[in-house]
Structure 1
Amino acid sequence: MSSSRLIRVHRIAADQEIRTTDNPSDYSDAFEVQTSSMDTRTAEQWSRALFEHAPRLVRWFLLLGWRWVLGLRLGPRPSSDHVFGWRIASREPDAIRLELHSTFMTAQLILRVASSTVVLTTNVFYTQRLARPLWAAVGMIHRQMIPYLLRRAASFPRLTIS
């Protein structure tokens, strides 16, 4: 790690203002990590640090789960229009929305950067009945993986991809 400070990730209430459809998501969560005031990364750089700079085994595990367990259709890697296979649906310096679709669900990751915090919100919209029990199982892993990825990315503020 690049510093000796303890990096904590907290689960917070998912912000309903960031919904991108008229339909509420079937599942939402949000995690927040405190960042250094010296960390000037954009939301896209943060999202790339989260996924593209994760350890190789973690990246393999994520791809396995997204593609083969959830059936999400990943885009090209590397790509300026995708972050580790997730389509960039919208981007601004302080916010990025990533989306993936499968037969069972649509998944969104929304990352927002503020002066000293980063918040990653996950929204899942079920399109088939099988999605609910599938996500119930996968969600347990998701709620462990996201804090790990946020903590790791906050530990290495210089790891960015343009």
Structure 2
Amino acid sequence: MKITTTETTVVQQHELPAAIRATSPITDYADAFTLVASDAGCWTPEQWARALFEDVAALMGQFVWRVLLGLRLRWRRSVTSVAGWRIAERGDGWIRLEARGWMLTGHLVVHIETDRVTLATFIRYDRRIAARVWTTLSRVHRDEASGLLRDALKTLRA
């Protein structure tokens, strides 16, 4: 699926690039969306993550993560977390956030290149019900990912 506007393009990656796949050991579910914009590399992965999850996803994200997915998040601005997700690891041009709940574990990876930012989601099913819950919610997740990236870019540019 390719979505185009006058300024940016967002593409869902059906095959995750090796550099992104290597950022998380989780294999039950993985997807990635890449926004192409000439100034995408002007911000750090952490700045992108904060724009995506604290500024854009904000309260609706908290509702989905805490209530629908049962993730244990502690919301507060911190150098060790983003929107309640623990900063688990960083590398050259990427950051991985991690959250666990009673039924699943999630990793959110933000990977930056000069003219693109990729948001990857990895889910591990820790209980059988997680696959059913995430299969339903993942449809909404995939529908919203492009807008989330575009809105984060607008936030960062402002």
Contact 2:23 2:109 in 1 (8 A): no
CA contact (8 A) 2:80 2:87 kept: yes
1:110 aligns with 2:114: no
Query: Equivalent of 2:46, from 44, 47, 53?
Result: 44
In 2 relative to 1, CA 9–80 (structure 1 residues): closer, same or farther, beyond 3 Å?
same
Q: How does 1:15-26 map to 2 (within 5 A)?
A: 15-16=17-18, 17-21=21-25, 24-26=26-28
Question: Given the two structures, how large is their TM-score scaled by the length of structure 1?
Answer: 0.84
The CA distance in 1 between the partners of 2:102 and 2:33, in whole Å, is 27
After superposition, the Cα gap between the structure-2 partners of 1:67 and 1:53, relative to the gap in structure 1 and judged at 3 Å, is same
Which residues of structure 1 form unaligned runs of 5+? none
Contact kept in structure 2, 1:97 and 1:108, CA below 8 Å? yes
Task: For 1:38 and 1:45, locate their aligned partners in 2 and report how far apart those are by CA, in whole Å.
Answer: 11
Deviation at 1:80, TM superposition (A): 1.2
Shift of 1:132: 0.5
What is the CA–CA distance in structure 2 between the aligned matches of 1:38 and 1:26, rounded to whole Å?
29
Match of 2:68 in 1: 69
Distance in 2 (CA, whole Å) between partners of 1:38 and 1:15 is: 18
Instruction: Indicate the residue corresponding to 1:101 in structure 2.
Output: 100
Cα deviation, residue 158, structure 1:
3.1
Q: How far did 1:31 drift?
A: 0.3
* Structure 2 gap segments, 5+ residues each: none
State the percentage of identical aligned residues: 34
1:6 and 2:7 correspond: yes
Give per-residue Cα distances to partners, 1:23-77, cap 9 Å, x unaligned: x5111100000122475100000111112221xxx52221111101110011231
Say yes or no: does 1:155 pair with 2:154.
yes
Assess if the C-alpha contact under 8 Å between 1:111 and 1:119 holds in 2.
yes
Tell me how far 1:93 sits from its aligned partner.
5.2
C-alpha change, 1:6 and 1:92, in structure 2 (3 Å) is same
RMSD (Å), alpha carbons? 1.9
Q: Which residue of 1 aligns with 2:134?
A: 135
Structure 2: distance between partners of 1:138 and 1:90: 26
Structure richer in helix, relative to its length = 2
Please tell me the residue identity of whatever aligns with 2:127: Q
Q: CA deviation at 1:89?
A: 0.3
Q: Tell me, yes or no, if the aligned pair for 1:44 and 1:91 is still in contact at 8 Å.
A: no
Take 1:137 and 1:83, find their aligned partners in 2: how far apart are those partners? 25
Scaled by the length of structure 2, the TM-score of the pair is 0.86
Look up the SS of the partner of 1:111 in the other structure.
Answer: strand
Give the aligned residue type for 1:40: C
What is the aligned residue count? 151
SS at match of 2:157: coil
